[in-house]
Amino acid sequence: MTEQIVVGAALYDDKGRLLAARRSAPPELAGGWELPGGKVEPGEQCEDALVRELREELGVEAEPLERVPGQWPLPRGYALRVWTARLVSGEPKPLEDHDALRWLAPDEVWSVDWLAADVPAVTAALALPHAAH
C-alpha cells in the first residue's frame, strides 16, 4: 500500500503572520488547529494540490515557495508534507472542513491548540527563514 500524501501550507501574509485553521470535521479532529491543505489527488503534483486545496478550503490564491524539510506521519497511512506559501490574492475564509481561521504573529504561534500531527511540521516551518514579502 502506498502512502497517501497530504500537503499543508505554512501560509504567510505580508506582515509575516502564519495562518492557522481550526478543524470542524471529522469529529476526532474537530476543534484542533492545523496548517491548511489537503490530500494530493492521483497524478497531481504536490504544489498543484496545495494551490487547489487553498482555493477550495479558503477561497484564496497562494504561491508555494519552499518545501519544508521532513515528512510527518498522519493516522490511516497518510503522510504530511509542508510548503511555505505566500498569499497572492483573496481573504481567507473557512469554506470547507474548518470553522475558524487565525493569523498568528510569531509570538502567537503556540497560542492555539495545534493537532499533534501538525506540531512537528509547524516547528520545522518556523525554523525556515520565510519570504513574507
Q: What average pLDDT score do residues 79-84 get? A: 97
Query: Taking CA 64 as the corner, what is the angle to CA 60 and CA 70, rounded to the nearest 5 degrees?
Result: 125
- Residue 88 predicted with pLDDT over 80: yes
26 preceded by a cis bond (ω within 30 of 0): yes
Q: What is the pTM of this model?
A: 0.92
C-alpha 110/C-alpha 6 separation (Å) is: 22
The Cα angle at residue 101 between residues 27 and 66, in degrees rounded to 5:
100
Mean pLDDT within 56-73: 96
Mean pLDDT of 28-33: 94
Mean predicted confidence (pLDDT) in 9-34: 94
Please give the pLDDT value at position 2. 64
Transcribe 66-79 into DSSP letters. EEPS--EE-GGGEE
Q: Mind listing the pLDDT tens digit for each residue in 89-115? A: 999 999 988 999 999 999 999 999 999
Residue 129's pLDDT is 76
pLDDT of residue 48: 98
Does 130 score more than 70 pLDDT? no
Architecture label for domain 4-127: Alpha-Beta Complex (3.90)
